[in-house]
Amino acid sequence: MRLSAPVTLVCECSTEFRSADGHIPAGWTTRHGKCWCADCTRAGIPVRQLLHGGTRQRRRAA
């Protein structure tokens, strides 16, 4: 996901990242309008939640 406007990403663990140009920081995961910080991504939380969310895609976090 890439936007041209400033965005604030907020992970479920309340980690925040302010991006001036909409660029997603390395290690973060964004799917379906949600985002997870690098720590949560490493812990596999996005994968778990996306599977529970009904998507059949099994994509590995980049």
Which residues contact Zn ion by CB under 5 A? Answer: 11, 13, 15, 37, 40
Pick the closer one to Zn ion by CB: 21 or 39. 39
d(CA 61, CA 52): 16
User: Does residue 11 contact residue 36 with C-beta atoms inside 8 Å?
Assistant: yes
Least Å from the CB of residue 36 to Zn ion: 5
CB of 55 to Zn ion, least distance (A): 19
Q: Do the Cβ atoms of 47 and 61 come closer than 8 Å?
A: yes
When the beta carbons of 12 and 21 are compared against Zn ion, the nearer one is 12
Least distance in angstroms from the C-beta of 52 to Zn ion:
17
Place of tokens 């663990």: 13
